[in-house]
Amino acid sequence: MEADPSDKVFKALADPGRRLLLDRLRAEDGQTLRRLCEDMGMTRQAVAKHLRVLEEASLVVPIRRGREKLHHLNPAPIQEIADRWIGRFDRGRLRALADLKAKLEGDPDG
Amino acid sequence: MEADPSDKVFKALADPGRRLLLDRLRAEDGQTLRRLCEDMGMTRQAVAKHLRVLEEASLVVPIRRGREKLHHLNPAPIQEIADRWIGRFDRGRLRALADLKAKLEGDPDG
DNA sequence: TGATTATGCAACCGTTCGGTTGCGTGTCAA
DNA sequence: TTGACACGCAACCGAACGGTTGCATAATCA
């Protein structure tokens, strides 16, 4: 039902825990699940679920190394969103905000 | 519990319907609720709920005009995310993707 | 005034989400 | 070979989500 491929990325980014995981992988790439569980305040299985969501959004690429699974960050989908989607709201439109503020202040009854 | 002010923005962007509403407001700013309901495939109340989420994320600013409510797009929070958060995953890191691909291809067993 | 229009409010409902517990499987090391 | 370690799988649970229906309220117009 959902054709937009970037939808998974948006949904994956919607959770603060998952954003934290991305931050941690950015700080140190290729960490193991056990390692990523530290200071997350939740069980290993919960973290594994979050990582799975990130994997399905292609934000994290897992590499099996013997009995452990190294998680690698893939920033490409985020850049894609920044370029394709957020780029639409370019800085030129930010001028509209000033206009809006002026309108709000000059027309207090709404 | 959630201190991050940008969390609401991420969550608001997580729904494709809400992203569509932002797109429509980008195409034509200051639309009424009734207008925004057209071709959304859901009831007015559902659209109103989505708009409320966008308002609480400061992505949409409503202005009452008599009995109707004009919805104005505020791209600032999106730019904020693009600058503050997505900016961390700068293009320099995209080189890591090539390295990762090489690693995956050169080490097929994972 | 009275009908119509634009919106708000609230209860309700099925599904998804974030998290847990419990158990199974494969890998490494003594 | 045995035990510990890293991980996967699945059932379960409460809360949040996306959407509906029904009714109330305020502004406009004939």
Check if residue A42 sits with its Cβ under 7 angstroms from strand C.
Answer: yes
The answer to whether B10 contacts A7, with C-beta atoms less than 8 Å apart, is no
Residue A18 CA to residue A47 CA, distance in Å, equals 9
Closest among A16, A23, A7 to B13, alpha carbons compared: A7
Q: Which of residues 4-63 of B touch strand C (CB under 7 A)?
A: 32-34, 44-45, 48, 62
Is B59 in contact with B12 (CB distance < 8 Å)? yes
* Domains of chain B and CATH, by start: 7-106 (1.10.10.10)
Which nucleotide lies closest to B11 by the C1' atom and the CA atom?
D17
Residue B90 is predicted with a pLDDT of 63
Over the stretch B31-45, which tens digit does the pLDDT of each residue have?
999 999 999 999 999
Question: Who's near A67: CB < 8 A, 6+ residues apart?
Answer: none
Residue B91: pLDDT band with limits 50, 70, 90: low
Percent of chain A with pLDDT over 70: 78
| Phi, psi (deg, nearest 5) at residue A94 | -65, -20
One-letter identity of residue B38:
E
Measure CB to CB from residue A94 to each of B13, B63, B79 and give the nearest one. B79
User: Residue B76's Cα: distance from chain center in Å?
Assistant: 11
Residue A81 is predicted with a pLDDT of 87
Which nucleotide lies closest to A46 by the C1' atom and the CA atom?
C19
Residue B106 is predicted with a pLDDT of 43
Give the mean model confidence (pLDDT) for residues A61-73.
95
Of A14 and B75, the structure prediction assigns the larger pLDDT to A14
Average pLDDT, chain A: 84
Residue B104: pLDDT band with limits 50, 70, 90: very low
Residue A108: pLDDT band with limits 50, 70, 90: very low
Residue A80 is predicted with a pLDDT of 84
Give the mean model confidence (pLDDT) for residues B60-80.
93
Token output for A45: 């299985």
One-letter identity of residue B63:
I
Give the mean model confidence (pLDDT) for residues A47-51.
98
Give the mean model confidence (pLDDT) for residues A66-89.
87
